[in-house]
Structure 1
Amino acid sequence: MLKPLRLCRGLLQPHLSQVVGVRIKYLISTQATILTRSFCDKMDNKILLDSAKRLAARTAVDQWVTEDTKVLGIGSGSTVVFVVERVAERVWKDGALSELICVPSSFQSRQLILDHNLPLGDLDRNYKVDLYIDGADEVDSSMVLIKGGGGCLMQEKIVASCAKTVIIVADYTKQSLRLGEQWCKGIPIEVSSMAYVPVKHKIEELYGGEAQLRTALNKAGPIVTDNGNFLMDWRFVAQREYDWDEVNRTISMIPGVLETGLFVNMAAKCYFGMANGTVKVQNK
């Protein structure tokens, strides 16, 4: 019974290194294929989402930014890049919107305005904003928004509150029947640095869930907003019914809370770029 085994071993011994080499090459090739496929899937998904964002942004700008728009509030985030891009095309390529002034809601949007050579304004001189266009982290069926994933919620809400009309642009992944279906990182809350511990416990006592201080990825310590404050993310209880207007008002009244990422009764329309190349419009 052992002779066949010895025979096989004898036959394989001279070629063992080649067999092992082939096996290693196969494993490396298989792993590389898996990694490549994963990378390509992520890239394809990003390209698809960027196309949806661009479509929503351009549609909203073309429908809402007119010659009557004298002061335009510019939001923050990845979708707003395409908003400013289209506004700049209208100004410099089409020769339109000659009297337009752009008011930023963050350092990012200020830089976008300057990079595209658009007229830069501020709320000191332009406190009446005709139109404000911004993105959102999530939009529910009642047009309640979660904003502030990028940390600019306070300035965004200030500029939005000065606008006659607020328009939201986003890709299809931001639309939900109820908050928390798509956006799982919680509701951002901007707080004074000395107050985040009592604010955390107060929110959890009132509404459950968990409020956590947002920490930085590439530095030790917390995220600091454009206003020099801390950010908390409140992960509310999933599937629980909340009166978001009441929640927003109550949390806003807690000493140390400067602003919440709940935007209630502010947006007039939401434009969602869809995966099939269409735009879905949600009305208030």
Structure 2
Amino acid sequence: MLNLFSKNIGIYLKNYKQYSTKMSLNLAKKIAAYKAVDEWVKDKTAIGIGSGSTVVFAVQRLAERVHNDNLKVVCVPTSFQARQLIIENDLELSDLDRNPILDIAIDGADEVDCDKTLIKGGGGCLLQEKIVASCAEKLIIVADYTKDSKKLGQQYKKGIPIEVVPMAYIPIQKKIAKMFGGELKLRMAVVKAGPCVTDNGNFILDWIFDENTIYNWSSVNRELLLIPGVIETGLFIDMTEKVYFGMEDGSVKEKI
């Protein structure tokens, strides 16, 4: 009986810790997203809306600002998820045909290093995220404290996403491994059988690079993009204006 009680207590404590951590991360995401929206969104702003869990809070705050402050904004999504968020929050949906130049783009990141180089694409939307970011005057990143690193790979262990043409994924795997080392894994879908397919009908290779190697990420990115069949990488270099990290203590750390 005592052993069963101890086991149940152990399960409870484990579940509580996981729940507490999730709540802490969600709060960190929320405070970062709210501060970014409050500081950057003004009337008559064209906004790129990124993808991911932190952007959900940014869109919620944006909808509040539009309703409470009577702001006029248009929103360009980076993914199906972002499009649905815009519609569900009753914001004006636009696209790059109508708004080829954006005032800002608000997006999340899987990791941010000391130079504001980003790893993005954990959710599979890297190509459209980078296109929208490239059309924005300012790219604003919102994230929780677990995404803040001195160098890439310190926190995020899933590698750099690389979007590729399906027919070429095996040759590309071999070429990148030969050029830069590390391991490349074809990202598999979670529910459906087979590979993860992007909104653009492509595959994603996750490059688990050698953490002990010092990379010139700008050079690496250029060389990756020269490989036939590589569509885009999850490396965002020299694109970010400012990063907001929600911290454990409820404060927001800013990286300029």
TM-score (norm 2): 0.99
**CA–CA distance in structure 2, aligned partners of residues 276 and 54 of structure 1:** 13
**CA–CA distance in structure 2, aligned partners of residues 145 and 28 of structure 1:** 47
Aligned to 1:20: none
Matches within 5 A, 1:16-95: 25-69=1-45, 71-92=46-67, 94-95=68-69
**CA–CA distance in structure 2, aligned partners of residues 240 and 223 of structure 1:** 28
Structure 2 unaligned segments of length 5 or more: list them. Answer: none
Matches within 5 A, 1:9-20: none
Matches within 5 A, 1:167-206: 167-206=140-179
SS at match of 2:94: coil
**CA–CA distance in structure 2, aligned partners of residues 267 and 96 of structure 1:** 28
The amino acid that maps onto 2:32 is A
| 1:212 aligns to 2:185 (yes or no) | yes
The amino acid that maps onto 1:82 is F
The amino acid that maps onto 1:221 is G
SS at match of 2:249: coil
SS at match of 2:59: helix
**CA–CA distance in structure 1, aligned partners of residues 43 and 236 of structure 2:** 28
SS at match of 1:51: helix
Deviations along 1:78-131, one digit per CA (max 9) or x if unpaired, are 000000000000011x13322x10000000000000000000000111111110
Structure 1 unaligned segments of length 5 or more: list them. Answer: 1-24
Aligned to 1:96: 70
| 1:265 aligns to 2:241 (yes or no) | no
**CA–CA distance in structure 2, aligned partners of residues 103 and 202 of structure 1:** 35
Deviations along 1:45-84, one digit per CA (max 9) or x if unpaired, are 0000000000000000000111252x10000000000000
| 1:128 aligns to 2:101 (yes or no) | yes
**CA–CA distance in structure 2, aligned partners of residues 239 and 124 of structure 1:** 43
**CA–CA distance in structure 1, aligned partners of residues 21 and 253 of structure 2:** 19
Deviations along 1:234-260, one digit per CA (max 9) or x if unpaired, are 000012100000111110111000000
Greater Cα radius of gyration, structure 1 or 2: 1
SS at match of 1:268: strand
Aligned to 2:132: 159
| Sequence identity percentage | 55
TM-score (norm 1): 0.89
Aligned to 1:108: 81
The amino acid that maps onto 2:21 is N
**CA–CA distance in structure 1, aligned partners of residues 110 and 189 of structure 2:** 19
Using the TM superposition, give the Cα deviation of residue 217 of structure 1 relative to its aligned residue in structure 2, in angstroms.
Answer: 2.2
Aligned to 1:17: none
**Greater share of residues in helix:** 1
Q: CA RMSD in A?
A: 0.8
Number of equivalent positions: 256
The structure 1 segments of at least 4 consecutive aligned residues displaced by more than 4 Å after TM superposition are none
